[in-house]
């Protein structure tokens, strides 16, 4: 009977994102090259999205660079961001939407489970909603499973939580 387990999750800490957005907004308003660019960064926590707006694509790119640098400083994984397309908006401005990854999509969860099964490690992986639980008899095998998943790029940011041993 498997006694030990851990969860593979993909969550972005929204308070950290909020802090990064506030810092980035402050810098955008202070930078000389972005004065009068009507640039804005807005976090919608309910939808887990960041909305960006600026005068043109060049200025929007500068705003994104500032935001990304603030996110990295706050240890928010950039892999967890999905960029929407740049959309022309009113008053000759441009907008862009960034989705924050919260949870592992079913297709990615299946890839993770398949990778673990193909590795022939003596563990069971199961999809539990928006995370994957990996259970096994001994801790060493679970450590090997974590190492295997860390070495594989699934295109998403993953954290390993609820590491339980009995």
Which three-class secondary structure string do you get for 52-110?
A: EEECCHHHHHHHHHHHHHHHHHCCCCHHHEEECCCEEECCCEEEEEEEECCCCCHHHHH
d(CA 127, CA 130): 7
Domains 4-11+104-164 and 14-100 share a fold: yes
pLDDT at 166: 66
What is the residue-level pLDDT of the chain in tens, covering all 166 positions? 457 888 888 888 888 888 998 998 888 888 888 777 788 888 888 888 889 888 888 888 888 998 899 989 988 888 888 888 888 877 788 888 988 888 888 888 888 899 888 888 888 888 888 889 999 888 888 888 888 888 888 888 888 888 777 6
CATH of domain 4-11+104-164: 3.30.70.860
Q: Terminus-to-terminus CA distance in the chain, angstroms?
A: 11
Distance, in Å, from the CA atom of 25 to the CA atom of 87, rounded to the nearest integer, reads 20
Per-residue H/E/C for 1-36: CCCEEEEEECCCCHHHHHHHHHHHHHHHHHCHHHCC
Considering the segment(s) 14-100 as one domain, its CATH architecture is: 2-Layer Sandwich (3.30)
How far is Cα of residue 9 from the mean position of the Cα atoms in its chain? 10
pTM of the model: 0.77
Domain boundaries, the chain: 4-11+104-164, 14-100
């Amino acid at each position: 009977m498997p006694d030990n387990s851990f969860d593979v999750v993909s969550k972005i800490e929204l308070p950290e994102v909020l802090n990064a957005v506030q810092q980035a907004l402050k810098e955008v308003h202070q930078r000389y090259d972005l004065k009068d660019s009507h640039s804005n960064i807005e976090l919608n926590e309910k939808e887990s999205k960041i909305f960006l707006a600026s005068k043109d694509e060049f200025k929007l790119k500068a705003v994104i660079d500032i935001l990304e640098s603030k996110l990295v400083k706050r240890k928010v994984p950039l892999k967890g961001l999905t960029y929407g397309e740049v959309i022309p908006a009113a008053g000759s401005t441009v907008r862009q939407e960034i989705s924050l990854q919260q949870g592992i999509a079913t297709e990615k969860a299946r890839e993770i489970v398949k990778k673990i099964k193909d590795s022939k490690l003596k563990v069971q992986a199961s999809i539990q909603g928006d995370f994957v639980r990996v259970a096994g008899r001994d801790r060493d095998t679970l450590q090997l499973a974590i190492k295997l998943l860390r070495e594989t790029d699934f295109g998403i940011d993953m954290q390993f939580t609820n590491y339980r041993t009995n």
